[in-house]
Amino acid sequence: MDLYDMFDIVAERTDDWYADSDERLNSSLDIDFMTRHPVLSYSYISVIGVFIVIGNIANFMVIGSITTYVPLKTTGNMFIANLALADLCVTAVVGPFNIVGVMKGPRYFTKDVILCHVVAAFCTIGCFCSMWTIAAISVNR
């Protein structure tokens, strides 16, 4: 089964979120979340946007301070810099596309499968790198 066929099956799937005037159930991928739940959407976008900005600034500050200030160049701090770099992958790449998914709707990523896979790869690699770095920090201590 081709990957595009799987997305077509998901798009054709119907569930009982709401019914249109013909009483035919529509797919949950057809729901425009921004117009159906504007307060939740704008609240979510605002909170995630603040977390993205604060996360990016803080991670750049951690990486910059460890790489420029010589007494901080220890083995333990290199683990911290690696953790900041992995977190930067999530906050700089995955977070903005999370906002795009809320604004454009779920079908945005089903139409551009390659972009979906790239964002998923950044998220997966960043999360696994964070977990293994935390495990390495605990072994190092």
**For the chain, percent of residues with pLDDT exceeding 90:** 55
Cβ proximity of 29 and 11 under 8 Å: yes
- Exposure of 84 by Cβ count < 10 A (0-12 exposed, 13-18 middle, 19+ buried)? buried
Flag whether pLDDT at 52 surpasses 80: yes
Using CA atoms, how far apart are residues 96 and 48, in angstroms rounded to an integer?
A: 8
Q: Residue 127: what pLDDT?
A: 94
Confidence of residue 15 (pLDDT cuts 50, 70, 90): very low
Flag whether pLDDT at 8 surpasses 70: no
Cβ contacts of residue 77 below 8 Å, gap of 6+? 66
Helix/strand/coil percentages in the chain, nearest 5: 80, 0, 20
Confidence of residue 108 (pLDDT cuts 50, 70, 90): confident
Cβ contacts of residue 108 below 8 Å, gap of 6+? 100, 101
Cα angle 29, 103, 22; round to 5: 35
Segment 68-85 shows an average pLDDT of 94
C-alpha 131, offset from chain centre:
16
